[in-house]
């Protein structure tokens, strides 16, 4: 990771905490407004940020490489879900 040399760990932790809070708020808002699609998408985003946060907190649950793979897979699922839902509305 090239950016590990640029910023301290605290900066990465702050970025992922903020992104996690945005994802949780988005999922909460979407759930309250009966927006099932966006609830799933924001929920997946929050899970990916939580996984990344465990890496930057050095909890040892997953490695950095595994976290990237898991995050990309979950975000791909969310993206495909949005595309599928948009295609089915036509």
Answer whether residue 45 is part of any domain.
yes
Predicted model pTM: 0.79
User: Average pLDDT of each block of 10 consecutive residues along the chain (90 residues)?
Assistant: 68 90 95 91 92 82 84 92 85
DSSP string, 77-88: HHHHHHHHHHHH
Question: Is 67 inside a domain boundary?
Answer: yes
Q: Which two tokens stand for residue 42?
A: 């924001």
Per the domain annotation, does 8 fall within a domain?
no
Q: Count how many domains the chain has.
A: 1
Give the span between the Cα atoms of 34 and 40, in whole angstroms. 11
Residue 1 inside a domain? The answer is no
Domain that holds residue 40: 21-84
Q: How many helices (H) and strands (E) does the chain have?
A: 3, 0
- Residue 89 forms part of a structural domain: no
Question: Do residues 46 and 20 lie in contact, with contact meaning Cβ atoms separated by under 8 Å?
Answer: yes
């Amino acid at each position: 990771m090239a950016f590990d040399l640029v910023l301290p760990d605290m900066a990465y932790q702050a970025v992922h905490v903020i992104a996690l809070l945005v994802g949780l708020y988005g999922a909460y808002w979407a759930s309250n407004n009966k927006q099932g699609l966006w609830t799933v998408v924001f929920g997946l985003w929050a899970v990916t940020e939580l996984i990344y946060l465990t890496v930057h907190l050095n909890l040892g649950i997953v490695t950095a490489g595994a976290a990237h793979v898991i995050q990309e897979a979950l975000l791909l699922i969310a993206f495909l879900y949005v595309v599928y839902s948009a295609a089915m509305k036509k």
